Amino acid sequence: MQSKGLIKFLVIVISIACLYSLSFTFFARKVEKDAAAYAQGDMAKEKAYLDSIAGETVFNIGVAKFTYRECKANEIALGLDLKGGMNVTMEISLDELIRNLANNPKDEKFNAAVENAVAKSKTSNKSIVDLFIQEYKDSGATTPLASFYATKDNESSINANSNDGDVKNFLSKEADNAIQNSYKVLRTRIDKFGVTSPNIQIQQGTNRILVELPGVNDQERVRKLLQGSAKLEFYETHNNLQVYGLLENINSTLASSLKSEKPAVTATSDSTATQDSTKSDDNLLANLGAGTKTNTDSAAAIAQMGVDNPLFSILMPATYVGQDGQQQLAPGALVGYSNLKDTAKVNAYLARPEIKSIIPGNLKFLWSVKPEQKSPNILSLYAIRPVGTDNAPVLTGDVITDARDNFDQNNRPVVSMEMNTAGAREWRKITAKAAVNNESIAIVLDGVVYSAPGVNEEIPNGSSQISGNFTIEDTKDLANVLKAGRLPTTAKIVEEAIVGPSLGQAAIDAGVNSAIIAFVVVLIFMVAYYNRAGIAADIAVIFNVFFLMGILASLNAVLTLPGIAGIVLTMGTAVDANVLIYERIREELGLGKSMRQAVADGYKHAMPSILDSQITTFLVGLVLFFFGSGPILGFATTLMIGIVTSLFTAIFISRLIFEYMLDRDMKISVSFPWSANTLKNANFPFVKKRKVTYIISLVVSAICLISIFTKGFSLGVDFQGGRTYTVRFEQPVDLEEVRKNLDDAFESTTEVKTFGSANQVRVTTTYHISETSDQADKEVLDKLNAGLDKVQSNKHEILSSQKVGPTIANDIKSRAIYSAIFSILIIAVYILIRFRKWQYSAGAAISTIHDAIVLLGLFSILDGIVPFSLDIDQHFVAAILTVIAYSVNDTVVVFDRLREFLGKPNAHKEDLGDTINHAINSTLSRTIITSVTIIFVLAVLFIFGGEVIRGFSFAILVGVVVGTYSSIFLAAPSVYDLSKGKHLADAPETKKEKAKVIA
């Protein structure tokens, strides 16, 4: 084996890297376990514990130290289906954008064009902007589009002479800005909401933003948080020099109040000295600003500090060291700093009645949007001055016409900001006042301060430049925030999935159980069938799972239930490469070769089949990755990584083990006596009997097609739109009774199915399918509960819910169809490139289309008959593409062997049918063993994997059986008929003989 040393080095390096990546998950889980033990079920105490330790080091490796927050950020995150929470798709209303940028004209053709564009966008892949431009042109309108958009606010981009192309570019740019700004606003809001490991991403090519919030259970609050309009405001500020006296008053008032509420703390002589020293304002400032750490080394001093100075023990006043070396108050609006974990306590102190009574009405405290650059755990507190009786800002963000990140004359990052005429007029007054009083203007979005720049002089024309200690990213963010204030559109929820924690825990248990059982099944089977060689395969499989989990952790991948299914499936397919190798080794041993030579030739001859079969599966995973979302994305990621790790471990690690055993003259066995001759001399006449199998396949396909076009399918909510709820009753229920009650409540047909046990059902309704408002959600939920309450003496609990609007349902359906078609095409192209004959591609296509029809037909025929859900949804699409990949995987192995036989000397003299029979029979052992192994694994997944993915695992399980059949009985025999029984190519010797004759 060449490069043995390099391979060993790679194995060691990858193992260390995976161990490092997985360590973050281990330490994060350890901290959370400690928090749970401390809290004893009190979630508030558990959260307080985790907040308090967020900035503490919990993982040391050499000189590197990692806090709990950093470990949490790098752990393997659990998806909603495992942890519970909310999955929301927000859609930016670009039709509002188009109208608002034109100041909502009353022109009939303009508004008709917008409405038609919205209607067509539900079934078209074009953007709403493109559709609107086209619809307006087709309407026959004579008014130029530019005349609608040549407003004062848009004058920097559009004028009355602009053409339709200019308008299109302007609207496209504004649409992109609206999406990016909405993303920024949502990102900030969610960060402030305090969700652990949120996932927020723009769905490329669309006007949608996907938001995943694991662990969230306050659904109403989240909806308001996400759908509220961005509120950008400009406030005057107070100066720290003025506010410090108030903070001292608050601190002393708190000390008195808290001491009266709690037993007095007995102070030591040191603490008494500390207490006495705080009587002087100057001494207090010095202690707080510079000497706190040195004067509070002991636990007693720290405790006493919290008693004597409750506010200043968690809020450090904004100070700096003066020229005399003494602490002095820093000028400006920033009045203090606090650790992230203490900000909630500061807020609680400021909200106490006795404290609110001493804070003036024209003063409120707001936190900065993010921690300080030099101190990632520290937030800044600003003193804001509202004006008027309603405590309003001096200016709102709707006056801003443009904002962009820029550089000043010294090449420092700054933000340039433009205002409309009304805004410029007010801005002139505000900045003039601030400049005279040496004050700052705070830029506030959604109640947090993004910047509070000082004002040097009056700004007369509304064109401002904001400078500060900014990074380039800071200026980009601030420019987006300023533009968000003018955001002329809204974001609404068009898809929503809610998973309760109880269902999430059940999903975790089911996934873990299925993975462990499948793992054990694979290990036992390999040893039972391949003897000592099976042990080598088992070691490779163990490394495979270890590498797979380590890579998932390093990529910060989100683990979903389909992702666990992908891991389970990977364990089954990981054996495939080993089976191919071992079967070739057995063949080489049958030719009388030594074990060392048989191992070398077995790996060599199995390599083309291994690569071709795994690459085709990887290509399908790639299609799923680009077309899928949510859990399907997790499945695709796991599947692709699993293929790479399977190849590495099967080809290199198992080979290293064989080399180790050979170097030490250890006995190597690739079978037991009972398994040594399994299908060894198989000689089934597949080509001769092909017409029988063709007829069987045609009859089955016809039955399936009839059912597909007559009975149809039960579409999942993500394909048809609507709302789905998973409901658990205390006792088993009668489905017909539940259905009748819900039909009466909704006054429409409701779909009710058993979901797992007899006391659990899944309800799907299309009531208010086009309504996505909170009012519609509440009305549907009220009617659902009203119908469920009619089930006498049987309380119910809603475990999860999902909402999909009709627009996004059509989009998901289109993406699913495209992904299936694209998968078949990309596989056919790959086979054409690898085998260079269209007959091979056509044979594989016939096989995969057959498998797809049969699988679709079975889901149609068995729907409502089997006691589990067979909905056609995104999970089913992932399953059918996996089946296509597996079927082609099997087919390619046969094709590789056929190509090998056709390349032998005098192969052209043999009957093509006999050669095809020989190719199928010689790979039959591998095909059956691999299929049986994967069927074992999928059976475990089907039985123990949980109700959520039972239909998914059933589809793959049936698909593997059908795919195995088609690869044996349809694919290769089809090549025979497509080539009309003639050889696809001359043998190499024939070409040489022809060359000699020509010469």
Given a cut of 70, whether residue 665 has pLDDT beyond it is yes
Task: Please compute the mean of the pLDDT values over residues 817-838 and round it to a whole number.
Answer: 82
CA distance 799 to 813: 26
Query: Residues 559, 634: contact at Cβ < 8 Å?
Result: yes
8-state DSSP, 881: H
Task: Please compute the mean of the pLDDT values over residues 346-366 and round it to a whole number.
Answer: 90
CA distance 937 to 565: 10
Rank 118-132, 304-318, 522-536, 806-820 by mean pLDDT and report only the highest.
Answer: 522-536
Given a cut of 80, whether residue 549 has pLDDT beyond it is yes
8-state DSSP, 401: E
Given a cut of 50, whether residue 578 has pLDDT beyond it is yes
Given a cut of 50, whether residue 524 has pLDDT beyond it is yes
- 471-496 pLDDT, tens digit per residue, is 787 787 777 777 665 555 677 777 77
Q: How confident is the model at residue 385 (pLDDT cuts 50, 70, 90)?
A: very high
- 37-92 pLDDT, tens digit per residue, is 888 877 778 877 887 777 778 888 877 888 887 888 788 877 777 777 787 888 88
**Helices and strands, number each (H, E), in the chain:** 37, 25
Amino acid 705: pLDDT: 94
CA distance 359 to 364: 8
- 842-874 pLDDT, tens digit per residue, is 888 899 889 989 999 999 999 888 877 788 877
Alpha carbon distance, N-terminus to C-terminus of the chain: 42
Q: What percent of the chain has pLDDT over 90?
A: 10
User: 349-353, 685-689, 923-927, 965-969: which range is least confident on average?
Assistant: 923-927
Task: Please compute the mean of the pLDDT values over residues 404-418 and round it to a whole number.
Answer: 84
Over 742-767, what HEC string results?
A: HHHHHCCCCEEEECCCCCEEEEEECC
DSSP helix/strand/coil, 621 = helix
Task: Please compute the mean of the pLDDT values over residues 350-366 and round it to a whole number.
Answer: 90
- 590-609 pLDDT, tens digit per residue, is 888 888 899 888 888 888 88
Amino acid 928: pLDDT: 85
Give the mean pLDDT of the chain. 81
CA distance 923 to 372: 64
Given a cut of 90, whether residue 699 has pLDDT beyond it is yes
Given a cut of 90, whether residue 797 has pLDDT beyond it is no
Q: Which residues contact 244 (CB under 8 A, 6 or more apart)?
A: 317, 329, 335
Tokens 């599966």 correspond to 617
Q: Residues 249, 251, 254, 256: is their CA dihedral positive or negative?
A: negative
Crossing angle of the two packed helices 774-789 and 219-227, in degrees rounded to 10: 160
- 11-38 pLDDT, tens digit per residue, is 899 999 999 999 998 998 899 899 888 8
Q: Which has the closest alpha carbon to 301: 264, 274, 265, 326?
A: 274
Q: Which residues of 727-749 are buried (b: 16+ CB within 10 A; e: fewer)?
A: bbbeeebeeeebbebbeebbeee
Task: Please compute the mean of the pLDDT values over residues 149-177 and round it to a whole number.
Answer: 84
One-letter amino acid at 838 equals: W
One-letter amino acid at 161 equals: N
Amino acid 268: pLDDT: 39
Q: How confident is the model at residue 579 (pLDDT cuts 50, 70, 90)?
A: confident
Q: How confident is the model at residue 185 (pLDDT cuts 50, 70, 90)?
A: confident
DSSP helix/strand/coil, 571 = helix
Amino acid 710: pLDDT: 92
- 882-895 pLDDT, tens digit per residue, is 888 878 888 888 88
Amino acid 707: pLDDT: 94
More confident residue, 346 or 576: 346
Query: Residues 944, 521: contact at Cβ < 8 Å?
Result: no
User: 300-309, 764-773, 868-877, 922-931: which range is least confident on average?
Assistant: 300-309
Q: How confident is the model at residue 806 (pLDDT cuts 50, 70, 90)?
A: low
Query: Residues 234, 333: contact at Cβ < 8 Å?
Result: no
Amino acid 263: pLDDT: 53
Amino acid 296: pLDDT: 41
Tokens of 283: 């001494």
Amino acid 289: pLDDT: 44
Task: Please compute the mean of the pLDDT values over residues 187-191 and round it to a whole number.
Answer: 71
Beta-strand pair 395-396/751-754:
unpaired
Beta-strand pair 491-499/85-92:
antiparallel
Q: Which has the closest alpha carbon to 482: 184, 744, 85, 723?
A: 184
8-state DSSP, 402: E
Query: Residues 482, 400: contact at Cβ < 8 Å?
Result: yes
CA distance 401 to 156: 9
User: 2-6, 142-146, 638-642: which range is least confident on average?
Assistant: 2-6
Amino acid 984: pLDDT: 57
Task: Please compute the mean of the pLDDT values over residues 392-399 and round it to a whole number.
Answer: 84
Q: Which has the closest alpha carbon to 288: 277, 299, 298?
A: 277
DSSP helix/strand/coil, 584 = helix
Amino acid 992: pLDDT: 41
Task: Please compute the mean of the pLDDT values over residues 244-263 and round it to a whole number.
Answer: 84
Given a cut of 50, whether residue 986 has pLDDT beyond it is no
Given a cut of 60, whether residue 223 has pLDDT beyond it is yes
Task: Please compute the mean of the pLDDT values over residues 196-223 and round it to a whole number.
Answer: 74
- How wide is the angle at C-alpha 197 spanned by C-alphas 192 and 198, nearest 5°? 60
Q: What percent of the chain has pLDDT over 70?
A: 88
Q: What phi and psi values does residue 52 have, to the nearest 5 degrees?
A: -70, -25
8-state DSSP, 235: E
Over 921-959, what HEC string results?
A: HHCHHHHHHHHHHHHHHHHHHHHHCCHHHHHHHHHHHHH
Task: Please compute the mean of the pLDDT values over residues 428-445 and round it to a whole number.
Answer: 87
CA distance 191 to 340: 12
Task: Please compute the mean of the pLDDT values over residues 384-401 and round it to a whole number.
Answer: 83
One-letter amino acid at 491 equals: A
Tokens 């026959």 correspond to 140
Amino acid 494: pLDDT: 78
**Domains, the chain, ordered by start:** 4-75 (no CATH), 89-230 (no CATH), 500-710+811-990 (no CATH), 722-804 (3.30.70.3400)
Task: Please compute the mean of the pLDDT values over residues 271-278 and round it to a whole number.
Answer: 36
